[in-house]
Amino acid sequence: MEPVDTDVTGPDEHDGDAPFAGQAGNEPDGAPTLGDLLLAVEELWPESLAEGWDEVGLVAGHPAAPVTKVMFAVDPTLEVIEEAVEWGAELLITHHPLLLKGVTSVAATTPKGRAVHRLIESGTALLTVHTNGDSAVGGVSDVLADALGLQDVAPLTLAANGLPEEGIGRVGDLEDAMTLGDFAARVFGILPSVAGGVRVSGDKDGLVRRIAVCGGAGDSLFNEVRASNADVYVTADLRHHPASEAREAALNGRPYLVDVSHFASEWLWLPAAAAALGNVLADQGHDVEIQVSATNSDPWDFILTPG
Ligand SMILES: [Zn+2]
């Protein structure tokens, strides 16, 4: 697959090409351990914010091992793991879990078993920050809302164990109303370029201002989106029936729907997460090199459209 084109991802501080090196000048107390990294990650994306069905936290790795390089990625695919190993990362942090369902074997005869073997044999730890990373302040949907220029942002659903600012999805307002067509172009412009592009349901000339977003698959949140009075809902993986029924239930045509790539919607979080972790570690005097994976793990490669 082609590497992610990080030139289309918007603001310079979100440039995935640049490593977010820890700041020089702090007391050199040697490389932090994986255990130190786990504490820093817990500060940013507490495991208590994860959904009950989710599996987050350390998947592989020894807490006493030193860490000098950390890579962030959306998916723990073999290609991503290979990239992390080749770069020399001792820790790979992915959004999606490698092992979400129970397994009875990690033999290297299956893709997941091969991933586990490659990680352990290369001394690369794997850590999952999934729905805790969705829910947290500065999480996946927060970053998406910020990139779209939304203001007065609030969660679509409150986290069970969190603050009022924490929870799944976000809703907020554009500074000025714009047409759905122009808004869709804005969505397209902030996301990494992937084969599936952006699909829209609604009146291209309809004016929109209040925007709901949910990075990743968000078709379970239509009731919350309607309750938020959003003009548009931006999410990924919208299937026919939930989307069709949501359009049937729409009032005055709203909410319009903008369906984006699952991978792209969550990739946006990676540079922000890398910067946030770099800041926490630098504050603690740790000098760790942090980089975002350049692998495009969106499963779709090309698309045919009429005309
Ligand atoms: Zn996801």
Give me ligand 1 centre to Cα 261, in Å.
10
- Whether the pLDDT of residue 81 is over 50: the answer is yes
Distance CA 162, CA 170 (A): 15
Question: What is this structure's pTM?
Answer: 0.89
In this prediction, residue 89 carries a pLDDT of: 98
Average pLDDT rounded to a whole number, residues 139-166: 95
pLDDT, tens digit, 9 for 90 and up, residues 232-256: 999 999 999 999 999 999 888 999 9
What separation in Å is there between the alpha carbon of 217 and the centre of ligand 1? Answer: 6
Check pLDDT > 60 for residue 26: no
CATH topology of domain 137-260: 3.40.1390
Query: What is the fold, at CATH topology level, of the domain defined by 6-133+266-292?
Result: 3.40.1390
105 C-alpha vs ligand 1 centroid, how far in Å? 25
Q: How far is CA 145 from the centre of its chain?
A: 12
Phi, psi of 223 (to 5 degrees): -60, -45
CATH 3.40.1390.30 in the chain is located at 6-133+266-292, 137-260
Cα 25 to ligand 1 centroid, rounded to whole Å: 37
What are φ and ψ of residue 189, in 5° steps? -70, -25
DSSP-derived pairing of the beta strands 57-60 and 69-73: unpaired
Cα separation, 81 vs 295, in Å, equals: 10
pLDDT, tens digit, 9 for 90 and up, residues 205-216: 999 999 999 999
**Distance (Å, whole) CA 157 – CA 48:** 16
Region 274-295 average pLDDT: 96
Distance 30 CA to ligand 1 centre (A): 34
Instruction: Determine the distance separating the centroid of ligand 1 and the alpha carbon of 227, expressed in angstroms.
Output: 24
Q: How remote is the CA of residue 95 from the centroid of ligand 1, in Å?
A: 7
